[in-house]
Structure 1
Amino acid sequence: MRQVYAHQATIVLAPGTDPGAPGAAITVALCGHWEHEPPCPLAPHHTASSPVDEPDDDRLRLRVLFATEPNRVEEVRGRIDAALAAGDWQLIDSGCARLDPAERPHGRRLLRRNP
């Protein structure tokens, strides 16, 4: 039975890099292409990005919510990490995170998507 998980990463974009590129790279890693018909074949997911809240900081925080079976979590996290390690940005850190209570409604929507 699928469950919802969160993954968080911090990156520094190279000058001129589209801020949407890291999310697209994650979708390619999980789905084969950033534009695809639903459902996501491995793990329905959503990637959000936000600047790190520190003055003069060029870091970007990525938060990925995904739904998958417990035995596939490490595969999904590995694909996310590999995508983030290979882009036009510097990967600062990446790993599992706790699901925020405010993310639970979105998590339920991900669970309703058929993989």
Structure 2
Amino acid sequence: MRQAYAHDAVVALTAGGDERAPGGAITRELCGSLEHEPPCPLASHYIGLTRDDHDDGDTVRLRVLFAAEPADEPEVRRRIGVALRSAELTGPDGLTTRWRLRAETAAAVRPGERDHAARLAR
């Protein structure tokens, strides 16, 4: 039975980069492509992001919620790390965005995320 998990990361985008690119890299690593029909093959997921205002908007915080079989959790986290360390993504528009991974860590699902996480696990 799938369970819900969370993963946090902080990246520094290069100037003019698309803030969605690190999340796109995660989706590509988990699902094989940026766009696909649901469900996600390994782990249903949602990627939220926020930009830090105090850093000229170049710092992006990612919050990944995902649902996977407990035995697959380490592999999902490994793939998230691979995607973030890839440090670049060329989007469908041909724009290549580069970033530097500043930090990543496993996290707990927050109380306000439990309903969303439960939907991912279904």
- TM score, norm. by length of structure 1: 0.92
In the other structure, the counterpart of 2:120 is 110
In the other structure, the counterpart of 1:16 is 16
What amino acid maps onto 2:7 in structure 1? H
Q: Distance in 2 between matches of 1:14 and 1:59?
A: 9
C-alpha displacement of 1:95: 1.4
What amino acid maps onto 1:56 in structure 2? D
2:98 is the alignment partner of 1:96: no
What amino acid maps onto 2:112 in structure 1? A
C-alpha displacement of 1:52: 3.1
- TM score, norm. by length of structure 2: 0.87
Uncovered stretches (5+) of structure 1, i.e. residues with no partner: none
In the other structure, the counterpart of 1:76 is 76
Specify the SS of the correspondent of 1:105. Answer: helix
Q: Distance in 2 between matches of 1:37 and 1:73?
A: 22
Aligned-pair identity in percent equals 53
Uncovered stretches (5+) of structure 2, i.e. residues with no partner: 88-97
Q: Distance in 1 between matches of 2:55 and 2:99?
A: 17
Q: Distance in 1 between matches of 2:108 and 2:35?
A: 28
Hey, which bits of structure 1, 4+ residues long, moved more than 3 A?
none
In the other structure, the counterpart of 1:44 is 44
Root-mean-square deviation over aligned CA pairs: 1.1
Specify the SS of the correspondent of 1:37. Answer: coil
Matched length? 111
In the other structure, the counterpart of 2:55 is 56
